[in-house]
Amino acid sequence: MNDDSSIVRLAAILRDQADRLRPGDRLPSSRELMRVHGVSPVTVSRALGRLAAEGRVVIRPGSGTYVAPAVARADTSADLSWQTVALGDRVIDDTEVSVLLTPPPEGVIPLTGGYLNPVLCPAKALSGAACRALRRPGVWEMPPLTGLAELRRWFAHEVGGDVTPSDALVVSGGQSALTHTLRALSAPGTPVLVETPTYPGVLAAARTAGVRATAVPMDRDGVRPELLAEAFAVTGARVFYCQPTLHNPTGATLPLERRRQVLAIARAAGAFVVEDDYARYFTTAPVPPPLAALDTHGTVVHVNSLTKVLSPNMRVAGVVARGPAARRLRASQIVESFFVARPLQETALEFVGSPAWGRHLSTLTTELTARRDALAAALTSLAPAAEIHLIPAGGLHLWVRLPPDLDEDAVVETARRAGVLVSQGRIYYPAEPPGPRIRVTHSAAVHLAELGEGVRRLATALETVMETSPGGGGSRTLP
The structural domains of the chain, ordered by start, are 4-87 (1.10.10.10), 95-121+358-468 (3.90.1150.10), 123-352 (3.40.640.10)
Contacts of 197 (CB under 8 A, 6+ apart): 218, 249, 250, 399, 425, 428, 429, 433, 437
Tell me how crowded residue 61 is: count the other CB atoms within 10 A of its CB.
6
Residue 473 is predicted with a pLDDT of: 44
Provide the CA 207 distance to its chain's centre, in angstroms: 16
Taking alpha carbons only, the member of 32, 102, 38 closest to residue 65 is: 32
Q: Are 177 and 196 in contact (CB under 8 A)?
A: no
Contacts of 235 (CB under 8 A, 6+ apart): 191, 193, 214
Q: Are 397 and 408 in contact (CB under 8 A)?
A: no
Tell me the CA distances in angstroms from 471 to 131, 405, 406, 462, one per residue in order. Answer: 61, 7, 9, 14
Residue 409 is predicted with a pLDDT of: 93
Q: Are 24 and 67 in contact (CB under 8 A)?
A: yes
Question: Which bin fits 228, alpha (ψ -120 to 50), beta or left (φ > 0)?
Answer: alpha
Q: Are 91 and 4 in contact (CB under 8 A)?
A: no
Contacts of 302 (CB under 8 A, 6+ apart): 159, 163, 275, 277, 290, 291, 292, 318, 319, 320, 321
Provide the CA 290 distance to its chain's centre, in angstroms: 21
Residue 472 is predicted with a pLDDT of: 54
Contacts of 87 (CB under 8 A, 6+ apart): none
Residue 75 is predicted with a pLDDT of: 53
State the Cα–Cα distance between residues 27 and 67, nearest whole angstrom. Answer: 7
Tell me the CA distances in angstroms from 129 to 205, 310, 314, one per residue in order. Answer: 32, 12, 12
Q: In this structure, what is the dihedral angle of CA atoms 12, 14, 15, 21, given to the nearest 10 degrees? A: 150
Contacts of 453 (CB under 8 A, 6+ apart): 109
Helices (H), 278-383: 291-294, 307-310, 323-337, 342-352, 355-382
Question: Which bin fits 283, alpha (ψ -120 to 50), beta or left (φ > 0)?
Answer: beta
* Extended strands (E) in 21-114: 57-60, 64-67, 109-110
Peptide linkage before 122 cis (omega within 30 of 0): no
State the Cα–Cα distance between residues 314 and 21, nearest whole angstrom. Answer: 41
Residue 81 is predicted with a pLDDT of: 80
pLDDT along the chain (479 residues), means of 10: 72 90 90 89 88 88 84 63 81 72 84 92 96 94 95 96 95 91 92 96 91 96 97 97 97 97 97 96 94 96 96 95 94 90 97 97 97 97 95 96 94 94 94 94 96 96 88 42
Eight-state DSSP code of residue 332: H
